[in-house]
Amino acid sequence: MRAAVVWEAGGPFEVRDDVERRDPTEHEVVVRIRAAGLCQTDLSLAGGAFGQPMPVVLGHEGAGEILALGSAVTGMSVGDRVLVNWVPSCGRCYTCVRGQTHICRTRRRASEQGLSRDLVAGGREITVGMGTATFAEEAILPANGVVPLPDDVPFTVAALMGCALPTGIGAATRAADVQPGDTVVVVGCGPVGLSAIQGARIAGAATILAVDPTSARRNAASRLGATHTATPEEFTAGGFPDDLDAGGFDIGIDAVGRAATIRTTWNRVRRGGSVVVVGAAADGDVPFTAQELFHEEKVIRGSFFGSGDQRREVPRMSDLWRRGLLHIEGMIEASVDLAEINDVAQRQRRGDIVRAVLTL
């Protein structure tokens, strides 16, 4: 089968057609991937971030059809349309039974995905990136690693429902709990930040400031619901008019995850406001004093995978898309065959496009 292999950290994707997979075990399914989103996390992992083992087939946003079922799998049939869920939950641990399936205690970090015999190419074992490897025509997944996909949702649209959309929308509507009339700032207008902007708009925010260094992404933010835009320099300097800032934003959503952007977002949120961190650049500690935590009474929290459950979020996102409230196509600026992955990866790294979707 075709797959895009990264042989060494920082190297290109090699698209080859001799990648082989094993058969599924009794509790697994095989999905014929039809579309896969090219996420920034995949590009970071291709560069060796988070200790990613090599060689590897990456990709964790994906949609397709059930190709084969393990002998013990029930409730699914060959041909069913599904979305890949890269954070499958056990349903039994402490966090799962409390309804926090997205932070299931059994989930593994990308760096914990070791070599396996799932994939082989050129006589070498290939790591299954993120436990999903959707940059391949066929993916072996646990039965709880797929979510039913409505028949009317195109695979290219569905691909973004696998990570970027629920992460950003959930950061706004669940973690931040944006309320009608709130003032919101979103720092970082990649796919997650743009999804957070859409989530804030859908939730009824009165003011949404989008912060990004690139004009193309600021323009995309305006199209998708931002009422105002600013460069990072303008945001750091502050001094916004009262009708925009009004003494501080109610909610700040940091979709970058760098220490400097988190701290600046904190500074621009009002007393009693909330900061949600949905980026993970991991470039250092963020300093806060006990006095400011005490006197300002702000809330700061992380949001992993939108703080939601994909089995509820996929129907919700599909409905919002159908009703024209969630503009997914407006976030996809390139839809290309897997063979063009290196070209669109470079364009995405440069910021020329917001998000590319690969078809397989």
Domain spanning 165-305, CATH class: alpha beta
Bridge partners for 160 per DSSP: none
d(CA 45, CA 109) in angstroms, rounded, equals 12
pLDDT of residue 243: 64
Cα–Cα distance measured from residue 351 to residue 345, given in angstroms and rounded to the nearest whole number: 10
148 neighbors 81 (Cβ within 8 angstroms)? yes
Instruction: Give the number of other CB atoms < 10 A from CB of residue 312.
Output: 12
Residue 57 has pLDDT above 90, yes or no: yes
Residue 116's pLDDT band, with cuts at 50, 70 and 90, is: low
- Average pLDDT, integer, range 4-23: 96
Q: How far is CA 307 from CA 159, 165, 166, 213, 340, in A?
A: 19, 12, 9, 27, 33
Q: What is the pLDDT of residues 219-278, one digit of tens each?
A: 999 999 999 999 999 998 887 766 666 679 999 999 999 999 999 999 999 999 999 999
Sheet-wide strand order for 124-128: 13-16, 3-6, 56-57, 124-128, 119-121, 20-21
Whole-number mean pLDDT of the chain?
Answer: 92
Q: Which of 351 and 113 is assigned the larger pLDDT?
A: 351
Asked if pLDDT for residue 113 goes beyond 60, the answer is no
| CB 220 within 8 Å of CB 330 | yes
Delimit the CATH 3.40.50.720 region(s) of the chain: 165-305
CB neighbours (10 Å) of residue 309?
20
Phi, psi of 308, deg, nearest 5: -135, 180
Go through 15-42 and write b for each residue having 16 or more CB atoms within 10 A of its CB, e for each that does not. beeebebeebeeebbbbbbbbbbbbbbb
**3-161+328-359: which CATH topology?**
Quinone Oxidoreductase; Chain A, domain 1 (3.90.180)
Q: Express as a percent the part of the chain with pLDDT over 70.
A: 95
Q: What is the pTM of this model?
A: 0.93
pLDDT value of residue 14: 98
CATH 3.90.180.10 in the chain, residues?
3-161+328-359
> What distance in Å separates the CA atoms of residue 203 and residue 206, rounded to the nearest whole number?
9
- Look at residue 108 in the predicted model and tell me its pLDDT: 63
Query: Which pLDDT score is estimated for 54?
Result: 94
Mean pLDDT value of segment 284-291: 88
Exposure string for 252-287, b = 16+ CB within 10 A, e = fewer: bbbbbbbeebbbbbbebbbeebbbbbbbebeeeebe
109 pLDDT more than 80: no
> What span, in angstroms and rounded, lies between the C-alpha atoms of 108 and 282?
17
For residue range 143-190, list pLDDT tens digits in order.
Answer: 999 999 999 999 999 999 999 999 999 999 999 999 999 999 999 999
Position with higher pLDDT, 103 vs 209: 209
pLDDT tier at 47, thresholds 50, 70, 90 = very high
pLDDT of residue 189: 95
